[in-house]
């Protein structure tokens, strides 16, 4: 541990702990609807511009809203660079927040250097009037913006990491009460009348394991290895009703998740098979369609979900936020074939940052489908607001922020020794909370 950081971490959380109230805001005694689904360790995740070709250092994006005007944020913070600040201290640690899970807990598992915690994101000052550095997350300001409201995160384990980052950061002012309700996790901040909920789904559309019966739902934790191996049936034109029907109970819904679309799957439209990806010989015998790419499936899935929200289906009248894909940083291999992420510092402006396929395709699809859904929302004149939170460019430059070999203890997670997809907590993804605050308080 960096000596100057160690002392500061010991006393990190010594600080002491009226917006409108929507009729759908979750109260501490209110149950959250949905069907049972477990959070799976192996679930993997994931301003507005079209990029045609391999993703390198992204061009200047624009923050877009459903009104077609620039979003009312302090600045467009998506283009910039990471700058070193040795005095920077995290809002929380594994000693002050008990919600961090093992695969995120780089401090517990002995990551050799904590320098990855000492970098600030500096937006380009020329973009929409940004200052020299992005304003540090202010939990009190966040609570003022969301008092009497609730937010639902929908996605995979990267979405879960964002939830825990936010919850741990807000714990500076109030430690929440955690509870579960039929597939949802929820953290209730009673003193601030605010609830954070999370629903795990790696696709956001209706899905099930191909090997399951027709009435089965997403499998529980005892079958997590089977879920990861797949294949799955994906109904590309049907949102997952388990979370979509609960969206109306929340003021904000944050969507993400892309990486699972790389897994083998059989694709459906209108209840009929239209193709597959990575089909085995046995699966192929039952598939009458053609081989479809993961990028195509992900694009159609986001189109389905975003437009359903934009139309206010199931009574949703709040703000929907799409977080873009967070890239992996494997070198010389992948998850199970010797890949590593040995970098100890962010990439500077002097180094070209590249994102490989299919992640670059996932990113293009997210941005393009967001634009199309925002256009539909404007045309319908409904109450739903759409916001795009682009984290791709800034996270592309943080190969140092993954657990690597320090997301588990010796001998644990056999066959998954190096994690260059998830992120350490605390870590670089804490900046996502600053972007989220800009959107919600804009």
Q: Which tokens is 358 given?
A: 């299919």
Q: Token pair of 119, please?
A: 């970098």
The 3-state DSSP class for residue 2 equals coil
Task: Say if residue 431 is exposed, middle or buried (CB neighbours under 10 Å; 0-12, 13-18, 19+).
Answer: buried
**DSSP character string of 349-364:** TTS---B-TTHHHHHH
- Residue whose token pair is 């700058």: 83
Query: Please, is 197 exposed, middle or buried when counting C-beta atoms within 10 Å of its C-beta (0-12, 13-18, 19+)?
Result: buried
Q: Residue 181 has which token pair?
A: 């309700």
Residue 257 Ramachandran class (φ > 0 left, ψ -120 to 50 alpha, else beta): left
CB 182 within 8 A of CB 36: yes
Beta bridge partners of 198: 153, 185
DSSP string, 294-362: HHHHHHHHHHHHHHHHHTTGGG--SEEEEEPPPPP--BSS-TTTT-B----S---TTS---B-TTHHHH
- Residues 6+ away with beta carbon under 8 Å from 204: 154, 155, 239, 240, 243, 255, 257, 301, 302, 305
Three-state secondary structure call for residue 204:
coil
User: Could you give the CA distance from residue 294 to residue 264 in angstroms, rounded to a whole number?
Assistant: 9
110: left (phi over 0), alpha (psi -120 to 50) or beta: left
> Half-sphere exposure of 62 toward its Cβ, with a 13 Å CA cutoff?
10
Distance CA 46, CA 240 (A): 18
Measured CA angle at 428 (ends 427, 429), to 5 deg: 95
Residues with catalytic function = 157, 419, 422
Relative to beta strand 265-269, strand 80-84 is: unpaired
Crossing angle of helices 431-440 and 139-146, in 10° steps, is 40
Q: How many residues does the chain have?
A: 442
């Amino acid at each position: 541990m960096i000596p100057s950081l160690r002392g500061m971490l010991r006393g990190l959380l010594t600080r002491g702990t009226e917006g409108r109230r929507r009729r759908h805001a979750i109260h501490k005694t209110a149950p959250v609807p949905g069907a049972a689904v477990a959070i799976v360790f192996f679930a993997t995740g994931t301003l507005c511009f079209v990029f045609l070709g391999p993703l390198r250092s992204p061009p200047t994006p624009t923050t877009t809203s459903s009104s077609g005007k620039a979003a009312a944020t302090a600045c467009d913070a998506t283009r910039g660079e990471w700058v070193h600040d040795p005095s920077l201290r995290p809002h929380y640690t594994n000693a002050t927040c008990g919600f961090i899970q093992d695969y995120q807990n780089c401090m517990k598992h002995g990551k050799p250097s904590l320098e990855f915690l000492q970098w600030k994101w500096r937006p380009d000052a020329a973009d929409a009037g940004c200052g020299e550095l992005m304003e540090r997350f202010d939990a009190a300001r966040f609570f003022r913006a969301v008092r009497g409201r609730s937010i639902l995160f929908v996605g995979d384990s990267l979405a879960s990491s964002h939830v825990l980052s936010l919850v741990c950061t807000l714990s500076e002012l109030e430690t929440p009460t955690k509870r579960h309700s039929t597939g949802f996790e929820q953290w209730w901040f009673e003193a601030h009348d605010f609830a954070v909920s999370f629903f795990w789904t790696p696709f956001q559309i209706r899905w099930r394991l191909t090997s399951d019966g027709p009435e089965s739902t997403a499998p529980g934790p005892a079958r997590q290895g089977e879920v990861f191996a797949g294949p799955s049936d994906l109904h590309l034109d049907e949102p997952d009703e388990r979370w979509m029907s609960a969206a109306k109970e929340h003021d904000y819904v944050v969507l993400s998740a892309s990486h699972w679309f790389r897994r083998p799957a059989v694709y459906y439209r209108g209840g009929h098979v239209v193709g597959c990806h990575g089909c085995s010989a046995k699966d192929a015998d039952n598939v009458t369609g053609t081989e479809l790419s993961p990028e195509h499936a992900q694009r159609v899935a986001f189109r389905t979900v975003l437009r359903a929200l934009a139309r206010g289906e199931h009574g949703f009248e709040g703000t929907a936020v799409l977080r873009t894909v967070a890239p992996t940083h494997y070198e010389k291999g992948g998850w199970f074939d010797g890949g590593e992420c040995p970098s100890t510092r962010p990439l500077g402006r002097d180094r070209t940052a590249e994102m490989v396929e299919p992640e670059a395709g996932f990113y293009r699809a997210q941005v393009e489908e967001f634009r199309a859904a925002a256009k539909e929302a404007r045309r319908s004149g409904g109450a739903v607001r759409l916001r795009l939170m682009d984290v791709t460019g800034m996270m592309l430059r943080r190969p140092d922020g993954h657990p690597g070999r320090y997301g588990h203890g010796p001998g644990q997670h056999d066959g998954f020794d190096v994690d260059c997809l998830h992120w350490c907590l605390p870590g670089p993804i804490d900046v996502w909370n600053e972007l989220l605050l800009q959107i919600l308080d804009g």
